[in-house]
Each structure stands twice: as structure tokens, then as C-alpha cells.
Amino acid sequence: MQLDSFITFLKTLEKDNDLFRVKTVEMDLKGMLNPTNVLDDLFFKQQKWLGFDEFYLYYVQKFSEQLIRKFNPTNIENFRLGLKARLYRTQFGFLTEYQAFLLAKEIFGDVVRDIALDKRGVDFQITYNGKKYNIHIFVDTSRSWFYRNFKSQHKHVESVEGIHVNLPYALETNKFNSLMYLPNGFGIYTKEYFEHFKKEIDSGNLKKIIGTKDDGFIYEESLALTSHTLYSTQTR
């Protein structure tokens, strides 16, 4: 299956934690330079899975002239390192989203992702039992929640039709939404997490999520009945 093949691919990757600390190229990469759009084309349209170094070389070869015109770097080696780190961090998060997408597709069946949804803040959309669930993937930290809530309030993310569901992942172990770590240290979503989410939908128990516990979600007592309701999981 595609999910199993992708996990096998993930196991071949080598993490470079030093690149998380290099932040010298932080300007917006918009339009054709947007690395998420490039990754989307490679992974979703071409089904071409590139490792970190492969993607960096692909990106630089494809956009070398545009990058030089945009940034006009005075120290080309420092610029290359900063760009490599920027692309690494973007791809790292993208790979987690892509694995979650494949896992959701295996469990729910009808799952779509496209650039239009991504631009409106939705990582992918599940259609199940006649309802659309707009999934938001991010790490379960206070900083990520602040940014997610800011987008919700100021960037009209919830304007996309359907029920908006935040499914954050915990980097710590022994939590309900913890990632499962592969031998190389890359974390992936677990089937148990998505299967529990599906079970809550099937049973009619799903309400507004305000946190997680060892055996599942923590809900608010009531849920406003609206097609644009935001389901949110907050850190404890």
C-alpha cells in the first residue's frame, strides 16, 4: 500500500537537527519560489518522493536564476546554507502532513489535498458520511496553538465549507496524540489516533475538542451547531 511504501521511504531519510537552528534565509518565498507548492507538485501530482538533499538540489537547479535576482546574496555559501535549512524545515513539516494524509486516506477513503485548500489553511479534507472535515496538522505546542488561533481569527481559515478539525501531534511520548518514532527518529501519526477520531464520529460523540488525555479527547460540554465549527485541541 502507498502508506507502507511512504513509511519505508521515511526510514531512509537522515535527520539533521543542526539545520533547525540555521535561520538566515527567512524572507517569504512566494509564487513560483514557494517550496510547499513545489513539494505538492512532486509528492501529490508526480508521486516523486525526494529526500532532503535531493529536494534541495532539485529546488536550486530549478530556481537558481530567480533566487539570485531576488536575494542578490553577498556571501553565496552562507546563503546556500540558509536556503538549505529553510527548505529542510519546510519539507520536514510537509512530510508529516503527507503521512497523515495517506493515513487518513487509508482509514476514511475519500480524502483530498490541493494548493487551493492549502492556501486557505486546510492541510487536507476528509469527506465521510456526507460531511466534510477540514483537517489542520501542526505540532501540539503553545506557540503553534497561538499561530493557529491567530489564523483562525484573522485570516478567515474557517471560511472553507465543512467542519474544521485540529489534529495536532505531540512530540513527547506516552500521550494520546504522540507521534510514533521510526528508527531514524522521524515521527509519524499513529493509526490509533485516526481510528479513535473516526470512532468518535461514528458514535456521534465528537464535540468541540479542548484537549487530550491518555485514552482520547477532552471535550467541551456543548458544541455550537454550525457548518463552520472549529474543533480544537489545546495543550494541557
Q: What is the DSSP string of 81-105?
A: HHHHHHHHHHHHHHHHHHHHHHHHH
Which pLDDT value is given to residue 220? 66
Classify each residue of 3-15 as buried b or exposed e, where b means 16 or more C-beta atoms within 10 Å of its C-beta: beebbeebeebee
Neighbour tally for 79: CB within 10 Å: 17
Which pLDDT value is given to residue 236? 41
Taking 50 as the pLDDT cut, the residues of the chain under it are: 222-236
- Provide the angle, in degrees to the nearest 10, between the axes of the packed helices 2-11 and 76-108: 150
Which pLDDT value is given to residue 206? 82
pTM: 0.86
Which pLDDT value is given to residue 223? 41
Q: Which amino acid is at 78?
A: N
Q: How many helices (H) and strands (E) does the chain have?
A: 7, 9
Give 59-68 pLDDT, tens digit per residue: 999 999 999 9
Which pLDDT value is given to residue 18? 95
Which pLDDT value is given to residue 155? 65
Which pLDDT value is given to residue 154? 65
